[in-house]
Amino acid sequence: MSGNQRVLLIGTGRMAYHLGHAMVKAGVNVIGVAGRNKERLTDLARFLDPPAFRLDRPLPDADLVLLATSDDSIAEVAGALPVSGAVVAHTAGAMSLDALAPHAHRGAIWPIQTLSHGAPIDLADVPMVVDSNSAVARDAMLRLARAISGSVLELSHEKRELLHLAAVLTSNFPVFLVGEAQRLLRKEKLPPDLLMPLWRTTANNVSTIGPDQALTGPARRGDVTTIKRHLDQLTDEPELRRAYALLSEMIQRAHGHGNDER
């Protein structure tokens, strides 16, 4: 493989947007962007500068074809690509390399970062996980990851799955719960932004002193009376009530408090 490997990026979503910008910023030779959605493809290609290609048209030769698509579409897109000596890789933390069949050289690259709308995220310090099934694929994935980030680690599919689960627990669930908390405030005509200083301080404390020391609240203290009052307030929110009860029980047990009936 050449010293400046040619990378074809497939995808037009958030991963393609952020990873594409990171590759261009790092000087990676992105020879094109491909996708199905013509409007989003045109926009992304304009942001990144390389030419745009439709997936139903001939694609340029590349050393590495990077599928920054949804997890459920990886196998379909990979199966439709012509088989060659190129490395074909996906960007899914929890997906097996088997999804990239029938290509011989398969890889994965996954930034451990939340990728939402907005300005491109600087991935230089974001941990970058790579996986591969051959020496050729390993070389390609490590070179790409190291060009983007100063923090690169190789993990097997099993370890990637566990890390992906941990990432969901760390990021996705708390964000959803913040949204639910804001919804409760809106119902009572209270400003949802009242929770933002708390959210920012909590996130900072978790990153500086760790979750065990950062955790506060009635369940951490074993304050059963307050927990029961909260559960009473959630009578009209049965799903959220169950989640509150279960999480409170887990916290109490982890911090040595007795499990009281809800």
DSSP one-letter string for 27-63: T-EEEEEEES-HHHHHHHHHHH-SPEEETTS-----S
pLDDT (0 to 100) of residue 119: 87
Give residue 42's pLDDT: 86
Write down the architecture of domain 161-254 according to CATH. Answer: Orthogonal Bundle (1.10)
Going by C-beta distance under 8 Å and a sequence separation of 6 or more, which residues neighbour residue 212? none
Quote the pLDDT of residue 2: 38
User: Could you give the CA distance from residue 129 to residue 40 in angstroms, rounded to a whole number?
Assistant: 27
Q: Where in the chain is the domain with CATH 1.10.1040.20?
A: 161-254
What pLDDT, on the 0 to 100 scale, is given for residue 27? 94
Residues in the chain with pLDDT values less than 50: 1-2, 260-262
Q: What is the pLDDT of residue 173?
A: 97
Burial per residue of 113-134, b for 16 or more beta-carbon CB atoms within 10 angstroms, e otherwise: bebeeeebbebeebbbbbbbbe
**Single-letter amino acid, residue 58:** P
pTM over 0.75, yes/no? yes
User: What pLDDT does 236 receive?
Assistant: 97
pLDDT at site 213: 96
Classify 84 as helix, strand or coil.
coil
pLDDT in tens, 227-239: 999 999 999 999 9
Query: Which residues of the chain are in CATH 3.40.50.720 domains?
Result: 6-155
CA atoms of 68 and 13, how far apart (whole Å): 8
CA-wise closest residue to 30 among 39, 43, 17, 13? 17
**Which pLDDT does position 259 carry in this prediction?**
58
Which pair of tokens denotes residue 227?
């927990």
Q: Chain centroid to CA 27: how far?
A: 23
Q: What is the pLDDT of residue 1?
A: 40
CATH classification number, 6-155, choose in 3.40.50.720, 3.40.50.1580, 2.60.40.10, 3.40.50.300: 3.40.50.720
